[in-house]
Amino acid sequence: MDNHGECSKPKKSKSCAEHIIYKTEWEHLPSVILHQIFDLLNQEDRKNASSVCQHWRNTLFHPKWWPSMKFKIEHDNIKKAKFYTFTFGQIVSEATVSWNSLSDTCIQEFILLLKLFNKSNHLKSLILEPTHCRIDPQKINNQENQRIIHEILDLIIPILPKLNKFSLGCVEDLAYYTDYILRSLNPVKVNILGLASIKDDPLKYEESYFDPQLILPFKALQILSIDYDYLSDALLSMLEGADKLQRLVVHLHKIRQDHEGTTNRAWINFKKVHPQCLLRLSLIHAYDAVENLHLEVLREEMPLSHIKAFFCENVNMEVLHSLSTFYANTLQSVVWIDSLSKSQYSWKFSNEAESPDPFVLMSWLCSNFEELVLYGYKYSEENLIAIGRLRGPKMKRLEIPASDILFSRARDNTIVQLTKDISKNLQRSWNPLYNNELHPVIHNPVAGDSDEFLLPLVLKDLY
């Protein structure tokens, strides 16, 4: 063919054409195919694959691959927190929010996250994990503080009807609005509900109430936490419809003079309806209540599995002796924690010579006993060894500071020998806790904030 004097154009090489097609296909791979590829990858591999191009990067943030997320809002990671807020705030289904509730910057970021949650059609679970039991931005007057609390509450209330899991994170400022929270939730959906609080001043706090009738429609409940102020025979009766209830968590700060408590009859009926449900009782700064615990709170028919005492500055030996008698079939855990004392005779788990040690009795008589944590109280070496021998590998957690162990014999390497003996019986490595392993508030009650130590422990009861 005549080319009219023009030079023919050089042909593109086959390899070059294939390269262009190859590159184009990867950049413009249909979303439906890309989703199928991503479905075959784990989370880490999906993150790596998302670096291929912008299209793949955008695909990474589809809601189905981010069903749950823990948002961490701390003063030193606000930039990262903002990224998580704007990236996942409207796509996540199960959100846990850890935030510094004393920092104005963190509180404002938390408010921004709540605003995005309000726009989300995916959110099904909201678990709050604040650093403290109160919302108290520093250097702000009380009026402004109340405005912030109301703003947070006003943002939470519209979210509640969407949820099947909710915890107010033991925040006292939110617990005062328990009735509004219950009225806003969809009772048909909710299976985990955390309403218990921690009081900033356990001896002087504003009392709040809610009508037990409000709990009646919540028939899907599996785990419920409340303050002791709300616990009554009437409330236990209102829970009869929640036939899937597995755990009831109660926080005790003080015993009101007008509180009638509960009766054995009510607990007998409760156990008939909920044969698998267990009770967890936490005493928090309950300085007075701990002394009358066995008289006014505990009942023989309670299905008590866990009892915890945090910074009560007292030990009730009658309560400890009663645990193996009344709760032999249900008791699993005893935690008794106070700050350390340098005195050998201060806050000692003492008992008369003819009276058996209560923890040894629990180890012998309570078939499900698996956790014992003792901080701030002197305890004998012989009894620790006895507990290890009686429970063996069934004792999943045995914690005591080394400085709290009393040795009856003056000999070398007593800690070493104790460690070997207990490790042998537990069939795993065991050591007492040393000072560098303890929270500052355990060393000195004024050296740290007890909320920072307490909250992670009590919030675990919902999981």
pLDDT tens digits, 84-136: 999 889 989 999 999 999 999 999 999 999 999 999 999 999 999 999 999 98
Say yes or no to pLDDT of 396 above 60. yes
Region 172-187: mean pLDDT is 95
Quick one: pLDDT at residue 7? 44
Say yes or no to pLDDT of 344 above 60. no
Number of domain units in the chain: 1
* Distance in angstroms between the alpha carbons of the first and the last residue of the chain: 82
Q: Can you spell out the DSSP letters for 330-367? A: T--EEEEE----SSTTTTB----TTSPPHHHHHHHH-T
- Report the alpha-carbon distance of residue 55 to residue 88 in Å, rounded: 18
Q: What is the CATH number of the domain that holds 389?
A: 3.80.10.10
Structure tokens at 422: 């207990």
Quick one: pLDDT at residue 255? 92
Quick one: pLDDT at residue 60? 74
CB 106, CB 99: distance < 8 Å? yes
Q: Which residues form the domain of 323? A: 312-444
Lowest-confidence region among 23-27, 217-221, 242-246, 371-375: 23-27
Q: Can you spell out the DSSP letters for 6-48? A: PPPPPPPPHHHHHHHHHHHHHHT--HHHHHHHHHTS-HHHHHH
Lowest-confidence region among 13-27, 349-363, 449-463: 13-27
Within-domain flag for 258: no
CB 126, CB 89: distance < 8 Å? no
- Report the alpha-carbon distance of residue 194 to residue 192 in Å, rounded: 7
3-class secondary structure for 247-304?
A: EEEEEECCCCCCCCCCCHHHHHHHHHHCCCCEEEEEEECCCCHHHHHHHHHCCCCCCE
Quick one: pLDDT at residue 353? 52
Quick one: pLDDT at residue 53? 80
Within-domain flag for 226: no
Region 346-370: mean pLDDT is 80
Within-domain flag for 338: yes
Quick one: pLDDT at residue 25? 66
- 439: helix, strand or coil: coil
Within-domain flag for 1: no
Within-domain flag for 93: no
In one letter, which amino acid is 124? Answer: K
Distances (CA, A) of 285 to 32, 142, 229, 313, 314: 56, 25, 15, 8, 10
| Percent of the chain whose predicted confidence (pLDDT) is above 90 | 65
Within-domain flag for 112: no
Lowest-confidence region among 26-30, 129-133, 362-366: 26-30
Within-domain flag for 120: no
Nearest to 167 by CA among 239, 251, 107, 242: 251
φ, ψ for residue 253 (rounded to 5)? -110, -45
pLDDT tens-digit series, residues 192-236: 999 999 998 877 777 777 899 999 999 999 999 999 999 999 999
Within-domain flag for 224: no
Region 275-298: mean pLDDT is 95
Quick one: pLDDT at residue 62? 73
CB 365, CB 340: distance < 8 Å? no
